[in-house]
Chains A and B, each alone.
Chain A
Amino acid sequence: MPQSAEKVLDHSLLFREPEYKEMFAKKRADMENMPAAEKVQETADWTKSWEYREKNFARESLSINPAKACQPLGAVFAAAGFEKTLSFVHGSQGCVAYYRSHLSRHFKEPCSAVSSSMTEDAAVFGGLNNMVEGLKNAYALYSPKMIAVSTTCMAEVIGDDLQSFIIGAKEKESVPQDFPVPFAHTPAFVGSHTTGYDNMLRGILEGFWANAEVTKNETINIVPGFDGFAVGNNRELKRILDLMGVEYTILSDVSDQFDTPSDGEFRMYDGGTTLEAAKNAVNAKATISLQQYCSTKTLQYAKSFDQETASFHYPMGVAATDEFLMKVSDITGKEIPEELRMERGRLVDAMADSQATLHGKTYAIYGDPDFVYAMARFVLEFGGEPRHCLATNGTKPWAKKMQALFDSSPFGAECKAYPGNDLWHMRSLLATEPTDFLIGNSHGKFLERDTGVPLIRLTFPIFDRHHHHRFPVWGYQGGLRVLVTLLDKAFDTLDAAGLEPGGDISFDLTR
């Protein structure tokens, strides 16, 4: 029966009713001009062949389902981690609507950002007026403590000079002279959101640190990088550092901004690195980045103030967390407390409990370069094989680094890294050389449906599952979370197979 007043059917069942099926069939017959069903099936099968894979990898001018976003998205994310900071993206306005939706859908939180709304006139005459007008309005409407300016492609193609524009806007009293307006050029046709994060963070630090009188102290700075799990991860990070008794400043902490409570108060801005702390961070003895590919320029800048620098690849799993803690301990002279040692032991214990389930399982992994590296490393730790590792925004040096990781373990023998490829390439990989699991984000669900490889969502963006980002994946505790996620998928897959005819032999109570 169609949707009826007597019984409202859920959307997922509604359109499977016979009336609708008939309607669809008619449409197909009348309008699609499709060849015979066998031919369609044959072609569909062919797209999963080796021959097609070769043709697919020969693609030059066309990107299909790229797994990356653009610089300004990263810039908006980085700016959101500072106290009462409003992102102001200079250029055409549609881009900003996309960033807001993107972050809102993932974090399930409001996301504020504004645009200078440049139009055709601005494209011809330059966007100075939009900057003057825009800063004035943003300052008046949203009372931020800082406005972080980034750019869209449009402003970059005509070459708007942000620095002189901002000076000009201040002369015209759009905002007070001493009001912080850091900026970064973030063209989308260069790099990806990780590049934009780096550029904006450096821009903000330059705004605070330029010409600073440095008096060294014992604190360290931490750069988390672009991270969809920042809400859970940053809190875990703070817990660990507090346990160690380290004095630290997190440079861009979005954990409160993207996780405000429902207690009857609306917070357009919440938490974040205070401007005072950002200013004082110049005096730190070291800056440590948790994601190298999100922070190359920022670390260079920190180095220029005689700070020690170190960078990691998304510290997930045992060895990666060990390295991070030891480095922090090394720089600060603080001991790693017993409590963390116990947590480590528990993670190792859990991995040992479940090693039989995960041993030898194969994985395809995609996402940002740091995440893919971390995930592959963790998988190798419990005897899995990260066969296909793909990062659309990965570079050749990243692929080399991945190869070195594979070479470090016998389980890496058949693994390969794919820098710069997209999810349509991944489809070919999964079709020709299927793995047991696919690790990625929500966009992977179509790969899962096409190739039958079960998807595990562990990286940004996750639009079709709720609240994953509230739990950490970093550190020993985070490692547990990742482990359980992988195990759940493994057992669910096993049990689903048990429902098929003849499959109940291994449909067991105890796993």
Chain B
Amino acid sequence: MGEVLRSKTAELFNEPGCAKNQAKSEKERKKGCSKPLVPGAAAGGCAFDGAKIALEPIVDVVHLTHGPSACEGNSWDNRHAATSGPSTYRLGLTTDLSELDIVMGNGEKRLYRAIKDAIARYDPPAVFVYQTCVPAMIGDDIEAVCRHAAEKTGTPCIPVLSAGFSGKKNFGNKLAGEALFKHVIGTIEPEYTTPTDVNILGEYNIVGEIWQIKPLLEKLGIRLLANITGDARYRDLAGAHRARVNMMMCSAALINLARQMEERWGIPYFEGSFYGIADTSAALRTLARMLVERGAPEDLLQRTEVLIAAEEARAWARIEPYREILKGKRVILYTGGVKSWSIVSALQEIGMKIVATSVRKSTEGDKERIKEIMDDPHMVGSVPAREMYARLANDEADILLSGGKTQYVGLKARRPWLDINQERNYAYAGYDGTVALVAELAKSLSNPVWEEIRRPAPWEISADIVPLDCGPQSRSGLGEA
């Protein structure tokens, strides 16, 4: 239990960028901002998980997990973060600590040798070393090992102090941001800068979503200097300190990074989302406005409006045919963080009704937003599977949108389901992504299997079967075109 970790934890909890934290008394603040965990209730991920998923999308570096083999073994390559180049990040590297290493205190030596071996083998631009519970408890000083290894090899080694027990997934995201700020950002100067350089923080290029955003920015002449961290290269990140504006996504997961970049390099930041049409437009507008405020050419504002008008018109025209099938359909949204509100507005735009949205892993800001955009903001925390099942089975919703761990609960309740977490196979960002989401929703709602699943076996006589009102009218959920 390093002094380092404790002071780091205190510092992270004391986040001046976070309004909620600032409103607390000194004593309250000391307690930290994560809700105390409830032992014995189903639980989400840990700080290591959070740090790893925030950094794993950096595609050209080696990610080395220091600990017993399973932290890496269970989480290795399990998110669809896409790459347009190297796939070094998809390897599962671990020091695979054994009982003997732990008893004899061989962890540090083993880590040093593993770093050297990984560098010799893959020659990456950097190595990220993740701390897990066990080495943290036996006192391995990974910062010292990384320093030493970097001196010896000339390759930057970045320690990520992410012992699992230090907190939840959200906290791990912040630890990741901390590692980037302390060791990566600002270490390389970009070859050139433009007055319209921006960064996006907390976008992980799940199934390639950043590639649906980048063309929009390029049409406006905005350069995406660094996407932190989706499809990132080490060099993008290292030069990110020269951006003019930071856009923060993903529930302020990296708010500490955004704030520190503002303090140190004067980069203003705002929080936005690229899910849904209105949010995409708002994000583009804000980017343009903030860039102009910092000296970008004035005409960017008009050009942004022109682009938005054209893109919106195109997207709405395409969504139109799906309206009929989606209108009034009731959704339970069971996801986390930013998607808890950004997807809400996306769905409301097309006339769907949100019965409930979960606010696990969501910040106070997220919750505020939900209240703003929903007429009847029904927010739920962590819902046990049984309760989720009951709500679906009681015909409270027509479709469940969630991630992998919940999907099968939806199926048991004989309700359509759509994956909107990291295992999904479609990119839903931006204008085009919203159309793709709508098309997928329509497909899911109109699949004949729901009819099948709700019909009793022909030899059973049953009175209480609720017929689905969205049977297969056609193959795509559209009128036959």
Contacts and interface: CB of A to CB of B under 8 A. Distances in A.
Nearest to B429: A3
Nearest to A60: B113
Contact of A104 (B75, B77, B165, B405): B405
Nearest to A119: B165
A20 B468 CA distance: 40
Contacts of B384: 141-142
A130 B69 contact: no
Contacts of A3: 212, 427, 432-433, 435-436
Interface stretch (A6-14, A202-210, A482-490): A6-14
Interface in A131-172: 131, 133-139, 141-142, 152-154, 157-158
Contact of B43 (A72, A97, A154): A97
B378 interface: no
A118 B91 contact: no
A189 B134 contact: yes
A28 B84 contact: yes
Interface in A478-506: none
Given A2-B432, A88-B40, A262-B412, A61 B117 contact: yes
B431 interface: yes
A61 B69 contact: no
Interface size of A as a range: 35 or more
Interface stretch (A105-113, A272-280, A281-289, A347-355): A105-113
A510 interface: no
A473 B68 CA distance: 32
B408 A108 contact: yes
A342 interface: no
Interface string B294-321: 0000000000000000000011011100
A262 B404 CA distance: 17
Interface in A224-277: 260, 262, 264-268
A62 B95 contact: yes
A211 interface: no
B385 A110 contact: yes
Given A104-B404, A105-B404, A115-B43, A63 B93 contact: yes
Interface in B426-460: 426-427, 431-433, 435-436, 439, 453-454
Given A63-B94, A65-B91, A92-B165, A117 B47 contact: no
Contacts of A24: 84-85
B385 A27 contact: no
Contacts of A14: 208, 427
A6 B233 contact: no
Contact of A11 (B86, B137, B425): B425
Given A23-B215, A68-B69, A120 B37 contact: no
Interface in A10-30: 11, 14-15, 19-20, 23-24, 27-28, 30
Interface in A51-69: 59-66, 68-69
Contacts of B5: 120
A416 interface: no
A33 interface: yes
A100 B314 CA distance: 41
B275 interface: no
Interface string B107-119: 0011101100110
A123 interface: yes
B28 interface: no
B153 to A, nearest CB: 14
Contacts of B278: none
Nearest to B392: A266
Contact of B42 (A104, A114, A136): A114
Given A2-B432, A31-B233, A118-B165, A93 B46 contact: yes
Contact of B134 (A72, A100, A137, A153): A153
Contacts of B38: 117, 133, 137
Given A8-B435, A122-B165, A94 B47 contact: yes
Nearest to A139: B40
B68 A6 contact: no
A122 B167 CA distance: 12
Interface in B210-267: 211-212, 214-215, 231, 233, 235-236
B74 A95 contact: yes
A32 B165 contact: no
A5 B315 contact: yes
Interface in A325-369: none
A190 interface: yes
A157 B138 contact: yes
B389 A266 contact: yes
B343 interface: no
A73 B429 CA distance: 35
A4 B432 contact: yes
A110 B102 CA distance: 35
A152 B70 CA distance: 10
A309 interface: no
B39 A62 contact: no
B9 interface: yes
Given A24-B85, A68-B69, A157-B138, A136 B74 contact: no
Contacts of A152: 133
A296 interface: no
Contacts of A113: 42
Contacts of B132: 153
B1 A27 contact: no
A92 B60 contact: no
Given A66-B73, A115-B42, 6 more contacts: A20-B84, A23-B215, A27-B85, A123-B137, A137-B38, A153-B132
17 contacts: A2-B432, A5-B319, A14-B208, A30-B191, A33-B235, A61-B117, A62-B94, A97-B45, A113-B42, A118-B165, A120-B5, A120-B165, A123-B137, A154-B137, A158-B137, A266-B386, A266-B393
Enumerate the 4 nearest inter-chain pairs by beta-carbon distance, A residue then B residue, closest first.
A94-B46, A70-B70, A134-B39, A5-B318
